[in-house]
């Protein structure tokens, strides 16, 4: 039977997206950012060269460098997993363990480095990055602490912003300043010990 235009399977519109190419582009973007390339210095040309793709392949998926950067950095800060909700202590251990591991990873630190160093030069882009990566986690942490107040596990007069700063700041300081040089820094109980010391200042007196 001769194949005609009527019997031939229809061809999908547009070019199929390549998951492999997208992954290579995201990885290349994160590599370049983690190598201290500032947002101003980061270029689509450099990303394309590192990823081994053409610039058109990138622009087919992202309309601008800013869109690519936001999506790439969002990969580093995936949403927190569902929390068990059995106790504030247990859920804080889950959250802090994720934060501790990310703070120890060069790539994952990119988000906060950009937030601290690029905000004046790229305020709109940094705001987009924070909205996509940091704010959802802040809201999850706020909800967790608020739940602790409501259940009586935490002080009724708890200042939520300060409590959140205590939680995040403790992890960041420990990883950056104390690091693996401290005794027990790499032990399996480290996160639990951090949470217990933090909670000592947050629980009812």
Same domain for 70 and 81, yes or no, is no
The 10 Å Cβ neighbour count of residue 95 is: 21
Domain that holds residue 62: 19-75
Instruction: Tell me the per-residue pLDDT of 71-126, one tens digit each, with 9 for 90 and over.
Output: 999 888 877 888 888 999 999 999 999 888 888 787 887 887 888 888 888 999 99
Q: Quick check: is 87 in a domain? A: yes
Q: Quick check: is 136 in a domain? A: yes
Same domain for 92 and 155, yes or no, is yes
pLDDT category of residue 15 using cuts at 50, 70 and 90: very low
Same domain for 112 and 183, yes or no, is yes
Same domain for 89 and 161, yes or no, is yes
Q: Quick check: is 26 in a domain? A: yes
Instruction: Tell me the per-residue pLDDT of 19-37, one tens digit each, with 9 for 90 and over.
Output: 899 999 999 999 999 887 7
Instruction: Tell me the per-residue pLDDT of 40-65, one tens digit each, with 9 for 90 and over.
Output: 889 999 999 999 999 999 999 999 99
Q: Quick check: is 5 in a domain? A: no
Q: What is the pLDDT of residue 186?
A: 55
Q: What is the CATH number of the domain that holds 178?
A: 1.10.357.10
Same domain for 94 and 151, yes or no, is yes
Number of structural domains (the chain) is 2
Same domain for 31 and 51, yes or no, is yes
Same domain for 162 and 124, yes or no, is yes
Residues 116/122, Cβ–Cβ less than 8 Å: no
Q: Quick check: is 103 in a domain? A: yes
What's the rounded mean pLDDT across residues 140-149?
A: 95
């Amino acid at each position: 039977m001769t194949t005609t235009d009527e019997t031939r399977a229809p061809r999908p519109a547009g070019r199929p997206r390549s998951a492999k190419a997208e992954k290579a582009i995201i990885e290349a973007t994160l590599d370049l950012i983690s190598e201290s390339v500032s947002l101003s210095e980061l270029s689509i040309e450099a990303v394309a060269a590192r990823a081994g793709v053409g610039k058109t392949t990138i622009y087919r998926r992202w309309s601008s460098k800013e869109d690519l950067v936001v999506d790439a950095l969002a990969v580093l800060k995936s949403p927190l997993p569902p929390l068990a909700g059995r106790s504030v202590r247990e859920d804080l251990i889950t959250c802090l363990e994720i934060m501790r591991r990310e703070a120890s990873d060069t790539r994952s630190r990119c988000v906060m480095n950009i937030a601290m160093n690029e905000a004046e030069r790229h305020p709109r882009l940094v705001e987009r990055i924070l909205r996509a990566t940091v704010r959802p986690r802040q809201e999850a942490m706020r909800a967790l602490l608020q739940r602790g107040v409501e259940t009586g596990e935490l002080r009724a007069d708890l200042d939520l912003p300060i409590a959140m700063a205590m939680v995040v700041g403790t992890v960041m300081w420990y990883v950056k300043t104390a690091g693996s040089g401290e005794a027990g820094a790499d032990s399996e109980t480290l996160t639990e010990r951090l949470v217990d010391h933090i909670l000592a200042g947050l629980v009812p007196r």
